[in-house]
Structure 1
């Protein structure tokens, strides 16, 4: 699949300014790339670790939401990341796979590779809390 810019549905959201690209989006796998550009690297020339964490959260959250049910949501409850190697070439590619989908918690594994460097750069496990659907606001009643 040819990567395409990730759709951002919130107007003026920060994610619209970052070079996220959708690679795969199926029921059981989400793959998202983050291009490595000069304004996103640290003083050593590697993609900033916080942006790698954000990439992991985006890919994992997009997969988790598929298992929440109609109108429900998911919120990151826990994220453990093992940074294994710097992302020097890029893009950073996050591959999210489902570990377990329960009624209240969804667990996702995410591997991040430096595509240009052909190596595993990070491995993460995330837990998402399943959020119940929001109820529509009730009109105020007069006393």
Structure 2
């Protein structure tokens, strides 16, 4: 790993890939005291980032080599806190069009086997800059 990889915020948060295919991306992060709110639950913004990264990686797998994706819309319904962890985000494709990709992400508290959030995200498909 390079110095940038070991000091980058995402590395320090310990987001990690569990499964990555063309149809599904599963990522996790642990619940640690330095990442929780006053009630001991993982911060919602960190969960939103995990959701966005998992869906973004999956969406990127749907486009050609000369294209990129960028988040156009993110809607999250928080259903329960992530207390035990790890938090697991499972992203699937709802529809992959030529200019827009829609994904769904279920986020669970693995330790409690409980659905913690459900999200839908749209990604704009862009031609890669030269």
Q: TM-score normalised to the size of structure 2?
A: 0.94
**Equivalent of 1:107 in 66, 86, 102:** 102
Measure the CA separation in 1 of the matches of 2:33 and 2:9: 17
Unaligned residue ranges in structure 1 (runs of 5+): 1-6, 136-143
Q: Structure with the greater relative contact order (CA < 8 A, sep ≥ 6): 1 or 2?
A: 2
Q: Which of the two has higher C-alpha Rg?
A: 1
The Cα of 1:68 is off from its aligned counterpart by 1.6
Q: Which residue of 2 aligns with 1:55?
A: 50
Which runs of 4 or more aligned residues in structure 1 lie more than 3 Å from their structure 2 counterparts after TM superposition? none
> Which is richer in helix?
2
Unaligned residue ranges in structure 2 (runs of 5+): none
Measure the CA separation in 1 of the matches of 2:120 and 2:88: 16
**Equivalent of 2:118 in 100, 123, 131:** 123
Q: Which residue of 2 aligns with 1:79?
A: 74
Measure the CA separation in 2 of the matches of 1:38 and 1:19: 13
Aligned length: 128
Q: TM-score normalised to the size of structure 1?
A: 0.86
Q: CA RMSD in A?
A: 1.5
Measure the CA separation in 2 of the matches of 1:16 and 1:73: 22
